[in-house]
Amino acid sequence: MRLILLGPPGAGKGTQAQHLVQRHGIVQLSTGDMLRAAVKAETPIGLKAKDIMASGGLVPDEVVVGIIADRIEESDAANGFILDGFPRTVPQAEALDRLLKSKGLALDAVIELRVNEGALLRRVENRIAEMKSRGETVRADDTPEVLSKRLESYRAQTEPLVDYYAEKRKLATIDGMKAIDEVMADIKRVLDALSESAKASKPARRKMARRAAAKKSAAKSGKANGRVAGKVTRKAAKSAKAKVAKKPAKRPAKTAVRAKAAKKTVRSKVAPAKKTRKSAKSAAKKAKKAVRKSSVARSAARGGRTATTAKKVTKRRAKTPKRLTKRG
Ligand code: ADP
């Protein structure tokens, strides 16, 4: 199972993730925890992230995407994982999509824990008090001032993921204001419904796969191709007829010319393969004849014209003044 827990700081993502780890035997991948470990170990990533985290901003996308890409590769993530605190921006979500696709994996669900912002400050204050009473070091970003900055980052950069996953039909929104056990029960209901629908859709998916396989084998044997081609030809012929019929009555000549031209092009494309020497010879003969005819006709025409027009021209020149004749 591969899940994402989405929600503002203090929504209870960490608490719910731990329950899910136990119930489903999957790992929790918290970018916040990983970054804190990197800060503690003073790795190059840690040094880069330290000040950003302390101020409540977001560490650059490529840094967290790199961390997650490496972490998903590890063997304990093979059975599934819960992403907590990642993705936090749309580009991170897109990078995750690409990452999973490249591995042939898919997300099962994105669980959004919706909480009332007024309650968050109280929750974080309680968390600080509890940690102090246990003698633990309090997170550098667990202060009322930094919390408001973290909330701002959430609203501006992470909340758009609610729509992003809703559009992909992956989102389940749960009331995070309820008691921890109730929230757990609600998440369980969502996940149970999901696995039920996955089971129910298995036979349907098998049926679809069988149909697709049958189509493929029919296409291979040529049956389907022939049928489809036949259909297309008839359809094309019908629509061509309809188009001709629809053309305005004023332009029949153009249509006819176009049809002829189309025939010619089709023929000229097809003909070369069929042309024989004989037909080439007879074509050459015909062409010669045509040339002879046309030259006879031309000379006749020339002769005729000179005889009749010469007189007219002389008469006109005689009438017109010289200058005008020159210019004309
Ligand atoms: P929160 O309790 O506010 O949800 P986290 O423990 O998840 O906080 O993360 C703590 C800090 O680590 C964030 O405020 C941010 O600076 C950094 N961080 C964690 N995850 C990401 C992420 N996916 N992208 C960018 N920054 C992150």
CA 137 / ligand 1 centre spacing (Å) = 18
- Which mutation among 141, 143, 145, 161 tests ligand 1's pocket best, with the greatest number of atoms within 8 A of CB? 141
pLDDT of residue 6: 97
Please give the number of the atom of ligand 1 that sits closest to the Cα of 31: 20
- Which mutation among 31, 90, 161 tests ligand 1's pocket best, with the greatest number of atoms within 8 A of CB? 31
- Over 70: is that where the pLDDT of 197 sits? yes
- Over 70: is that where the pLDDT of 249 sits? no
Confidence of residue 287 (pLDDT cuts 50, 70, 90): low
- Residues 6 or more apart whose CB falls under 8 angstroms from that of 63 comprise 45, 48, 49
pLDDT of residue 234: 46
Superfamily the domain 2-177 falls into:
P-loop containing nucleotide triphosphate hydrolases (3.40.50.300)
Ligand 1, residues at Cβ distance < 6 Å: 9, 31-32, 35, 52-53, 56-59, 64, 85-86, 88, 92, 141, 150
Please give the number of the atom of ligand 1 that sits closest to the Cα of 147: 3
Q: What is the pLDDT of residues 27-61, one digit of tens each?
A: 999 999 999 999 999 999 999 999 999 999 999 99
Residue of minimum CA distance from atom 13 in ligand 1:
53
Q: What is the pLDDT of residues 78-98, one digit of tens each?
A: 999 999 999 999 999 999 999
Please give the number of the atom of ligand 1 that sits closest to the Cα of 60: 25
- In the chain, the amino acid numbered 217 is S
- Over the chain, what is the mean pLDDT? 76
Among the ranges given (77-86, 283-292, 312-321), the one the predictor scored with the smallest mean pLDDT: 312-321
CA 95 / ligand 1 centre spacing (Å) = 17
CA 325 / ligand 1 centre spacing (Å) = 96
CA 32 / ligand 1 centre spacing (Å) = 5
Residue of minimum CA distance from atom 18 in ligand 1:
32
Among the ranges given (113-127, 217-231, 251-265), the one the predictor scored with the smallest mean pLDDT: 251-265
Helix axes 180-220, 13-24, angle to 10 degrees: 60
By annotation, the residues acting in catalysis are: 13, 88, 127, 139, 150
CA 287 / ligand 1 centre spacing (Å) = 86
Confidence of residue 121 (pLDDT cuts 50, 70, 90): confident
Confidence of residue 276 (pLDDT cuts 50, 70, 90): very low
Euclidean distance between CA atoms 42 and 36, whole angstroms = 10
Euclidean distance between CA atoms 124 and 304, whole angstroms = 111
